[in-house]
Amino acid sequence: MPRAPSDWISLAEAASILAQANVSVSRSTLGRWVAAGRLQSIRPGRRIYVRRGQVRAMLKPARRSVSAERLQGTFFDDQP
Protein backbone atom coordinates (compact mmCIF):
# COMPACT_ATOMS: atom_id res chain seq x y z
CA MET A 1 0.00 0.00 0.00
CA PRO A 2 1.54 3.37 -0.99
CA ARG A 3 2.34 5.83 1.72
CA ALA A 4 0.29 9.05 1.87
CA PRO A 5 2.34 12.15 1.03
CA SER A 6 3.39 14.14 4.04
CA ASP A 7 4.62 17.68 4.43
CA TRP A 8 7.55 16.36 6.48
CA ILE A 9 10.16 14.38 4.53
CA SER A 10 13.46 12.76 5.47
CA LEU A 11 16.80 14.27 4.49
CA ALA A 12 17.22 11.46 1.94
CA GLU A 13 13.90 12.38 0.32
CA ALA A 14 14.88 16.06 0.32
CA ALA A 15 18.20 15.24 -1.35
CA SER A 16 16.29 13.16 -3.92
CA ILE A 17 13.93 16.05 -4.74
CA LEU A 18 16.92 18.35 -5.23
CA ALA A 19 18.76 15.72 -7.33
CA GLN A 20 15.74 15.42 -9.66
CA ALA A 21 16.16 19.14 -10.34
CA ASN A 22 19.89 18.62 -11.05
CA VAL A 23 20.92 20.21 -7.75
CA SER A 24 23.49 18.03 -6.02
CA VAL A 25 23.15 18.40 -2.24
CA SER A 26 24.12 15.64 0.18
CA ARG A 27 22.18 14.59 3.24
CA SER A 28 25.03 15.81 5.43
CA THR A 29 24.82 19.27 3.84
CA LEU A 30 21.07 19.31 4.48
CA GLY A 31 21.81 18.33 8.08
CA ARG A 32 24.21 21.27 8.40
CA TRP A 33 21.55 23.60 6.99
CA VAL A 34 19.12 22.29 9.61
CA ALA A 35 21.68 22.89 12.38
CA ALA A 36 22.28 26.42 11.06
CA GLY A 37 18.53 27.15 11.00
CA ARG A 38 18.26 27.47 7.21
CA LEU A 39 15.69 24.64 7.09
CA GLN A 40 12.78 24.11 9.48
CA SER A 41 12.97 20.62 10.93
CA ILE A 42 11.61 18.17 13.46
CA ARG A 43 13.40 15.24 15.05
CA PRO A 44 11.06 12.60 16.45
CA GLY A 45 13.76 10.14 17.44
CA ARG A 46 17.00 9.78 15.52
CA ARG A 47 15.83 10.91 12.08
CA ILE A 48 15.57 14.50 10.94
CA TYR A 49 12.60 15.62 8.86
CA VAL A 50 12.28 18.86 6.86
CA ARG A 51 9.30 20.48 5.15
CA ARG A 52 8.73 19.37 1.55
CA GLY A 53 7.46 22.83 0.55
CA GLN A 54 10.56 24.52 1.93
CA VAL A 55 12.83 22.19 -0.05
CA ARG A 56 10.86 22.84 -3.24
CA ALA A 57 10.97 26.59 -2.57
CA MET A 58 14.78 26.35 -2.63
CA LEU A 59 14.51 25.43 -6.30
CA LYS A 60 12.73 28.65 -7.26
CA PRO A 61 14.97 31.56 -8.20
CA ALA A 62 15.00 34.42 -5.75
CA ARG A 63 13.21 37.53 -6.97
CA ARG A 64 15.57 40.45 -6.92
CA SER A 65 14.28 43.89 -7.47
CA VAL A 66 16.07 47.13 -8.08
CA SER A 67 14.77 50.34 -6.63
CA ALA A 68 13.98 53.16 -9.04
CA GLU A 69 16.67 55.34 -7.43
CA ARG A 70 19.37 52.87 -8.42
CA LEU A 71 18.44 52.85 -12.12
CA GLN A 72 20.27 55.09 -14.53
CA GLY A 73 18.57 58.43 -14.95
CA THR A 74 18.60 58.19 -18.74
CA PHE A 75 16.85 54.84 -18.66
CA PHE A 76 13.41 56.44 -18.50
CA ASP A 77 14.17 59.61 -20.46
CA ASP A 78 12.51 59.90 -23.83
CA GLN A 79 15.08 60.26 -26.56
CA PRO A 80 14.25 61.13 -30.14
Is 68 a domain residue? no
pLDDT in tens, 11-68: 999 999 999 999 999 999 999 999 999 999 999 999 999 999 999 998 887 777 777 6
Strands (DSSP E) found in the chain: 8-10, 41-42, 49-51
Q: What is the pTM of this model?
A: 0.69
Residue 1 counted as domain residue? no
Domain assignment of residue 66, yes or no: no
Is the residue at 32 inside a domain?
yes
Q: Could you tell me the residue range of the domain that residue 27 belongs to?
A: 8-57
Q: What are phi and psi of 36, to 5 degrees?
A: -85, -10
B/e letters for 24-40, b = 16+ CB within 10 Å, e = fewer, are ebeeeebeebbeeeebe
